[in-house]
C-alpha cells in the first residue's frame, strides 16, 4: 500500500460516506478536525457535533442526527440519569433520614449544613445530575443525607420538620 502525505480528506466530505472507520482511521480523522457519525454514516467537522463541557467530549451523533433522534436520546439519558440517582440514594441509605420515606420519587439529597442551591450553582448543574455525578466522583463525602421532599421543604420554610415534634418519632440524626 502506498503511503501518502496528502492532507485528509482527499475526497470531499460528501463523498466520504464511510462505514465505521478502523480505530487508526478515527484518530487520523480527529487529527484533521473530523469525526464520523455512526448514525448518518458521514464524516463531519467537529463543529457539526455538540460539545459536552462537563464530559470533556463531543456528542457521538452529529447535530442533525441528534435532532432526528431526539426522543431516543432523551429516553437513554433518562435511563442513565435514574441509574446514577439510584446509586447516589442507595449510597446515602436509600430512605428519608427524617420520616423513613422509601419511595424513590419522593427522595432527594440534602446538604446537612445547608447551602445546597449555591453548591449546585457553583458546580454549574442546576438540574441536579451534575451534583449527583460530583457526589459519585468524590466517593460520597460526608455532610449529605437523604430527605423526602416534604421533610426537606418543611425544614426550608419553617426551620424544622413537624416529624421532629411528633411524640414517639425519633430523628435518626
Ligand atoms: Zn449524523
Ligand atoms: Zn421525610
Ligand atoms: Zn420529616
Distance from the alpha carbon of residue 99 to the mean position of ligand 3, in angstroms: 5
Distance from the alpha carbon of residue 147 to the mean position of ligand 2, in angstroms: 5
**What's CA 144's distance to the chain center, in Å?**
19
Distance from the alpha carbon of residue 99 to the mean position of ligand 2, in angstroms: 4
Q: What is the pLDDT of residues 80-93, one digit of tens each?
A: 999 999 999 999 99
For ion ligand 2, residues whose CB falls within 5 Å? 96, 98-99, 101, 148, 151
Question: Tell me, what's the pLDDT at 93?
Answer: 95
Interval 70-75 mean pLDDT: 92
Question: Which phi and psi angles does 165 have, rounded to 5°?
Answer: -95, -5
Question: Tell me, what's the pLDDT at 59?
Answer: 93
Distance from the alpha carbon of residue 172 to the mean position of ligand 3, in angstroms: 11
Ligand nearest to the CA of 40: 1
Distance from the alpha carbon of residue 94 to the mean position of ligand 2, in angstroms: 12
Per residue, what are the HEC states of the chain? CCCCCCCCCCCCCCCCCCCCCCHHHHHHHHHCCEEEECCCCEEEEHHHEEEECCCCEEEEEEHHHHHHCHHHHHHHHHHHHHHHHHHHHHHCCCCCCCCCCCCHHHEEEEECCCCHHHHHHHCCCCCCHHHHHHHHHCCCCCCEEEEEHHHHHHHHHHCCCHHHHCCCCCCCC
Lowest mean pLDDT: which of 6-10, 92-96, 127-131?
A: 6-10
Burial class (CB in 10 A: 0-12, 13-18, 19+), 150: middle
Interval 24-37 mean pLDDT: 90
Distance from the alpha carbon of residue 152 to the mean position of ligand 3, in angstroms: 7
First to last CA, the chain: 71
Interval 136-143 mean pLDDT: 93
Confidence of residue 4 (pLDDT cuts 50, 70, 90): very low
Distance from the alpha carbon of residue 98 to the mean position of ligand 1, in angstroms: 49
Amino acid at each position: 500500500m502506498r503511503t501518502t502525505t496528502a492532507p485528509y480528506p482527499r475526497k470531499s466530505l460528501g463523498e466520504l460516506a464511510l462505514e465505521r472507520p478502523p480505530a487508526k482511521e478515527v484518530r487520523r480523522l480527529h487529527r484533521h478536525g473530523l469525526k464520523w457519525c455512526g448514525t448518518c454514516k458521514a464524516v463531519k467537522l467537529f463543529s457539526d457535533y455538540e460539545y459536552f463541557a462537563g464530559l470533556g467530549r463531543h456528542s457521538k451523533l452529529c447535530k442533525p442526527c441528534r435532532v432526528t433522534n431526539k426522543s431516543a436520546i432523551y429516553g437513554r439519558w433518562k435511563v442513565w440519569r435514574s441509574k446514577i440517582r439510584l446509586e447516589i440514594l442507595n449510597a446515602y441509605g436509600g430512605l428519608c433520614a427524617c420520616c423513613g420515606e422509601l419511595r424513590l420519587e419522593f427522595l432527594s439529597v440534602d446538604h446537612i449544613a445547608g447551602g445546597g442551591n449555591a453548591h449546585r450553582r457553583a458546580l454549574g448543574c442546576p438540574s441536579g445530575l451534575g451534583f449527583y455525578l460530583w457526589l459519585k466522583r468524590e466517593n460520597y463525602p460526608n455532610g449529605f443525607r437523604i430527605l423526602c421532599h416534604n421533610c426537606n421543604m418543611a425544614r426550608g420554610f419553617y426551620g424544622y420538620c413537624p416529624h421532629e415534634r411528633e411524640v414517639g418519632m425519633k430523628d435518626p440524626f
